[in-house]
Amino acid sequence: MCDLVHLERRGIPAVGIATAPFADEAVAQARLLGMPGARVLYIPHPVQLLSAAELSGRADAVFPGVLAALTAGPVAG
């Protein structure tokens, strides 16, 4: 989340991707870093035991959301 906030503050759009069980932590970190509206997308958990093909499928599934978030305009914060 720190990198995302630093990029956004430099005018570089950024999107965080986390697994769903970490949503509360992502929101809390964004708030603590002064960017409560940070763009974060959530994917199903867990990912650590997925094969490369399964990870690629998760990336493909979330990509439209990443693109939409990056082109939605600046984040407040």
Give the tens place of pLDDT for each residue, 14-56: 999 999 999 999 999 999 999 999 999 999 999 999 999 999 9
pLDDT value of residue 73: 83
Contact indicator for 15, 39 with CB cutoff of 8 Å:
yes
Is the pLDDT at 77 greater than 80, yes or no? Answer: no
Indicate the pLDDT class of residue 74, thresholds 50, 70 and 90. confident
* Nearest residue to 77 via CA among 37, 29, 18: 37
pLDDT value of residue 41: 97
Q: Phi/psi at 18 (nearest 5 deg)?
A: -140, 165
Distance in angstroms (rounded) separating the CA atoms of residues 68 and 52: 25
pLDDT value of residue 47: 94
42: tokens are: 């959530």
pTM score, whole prediction: 0.87
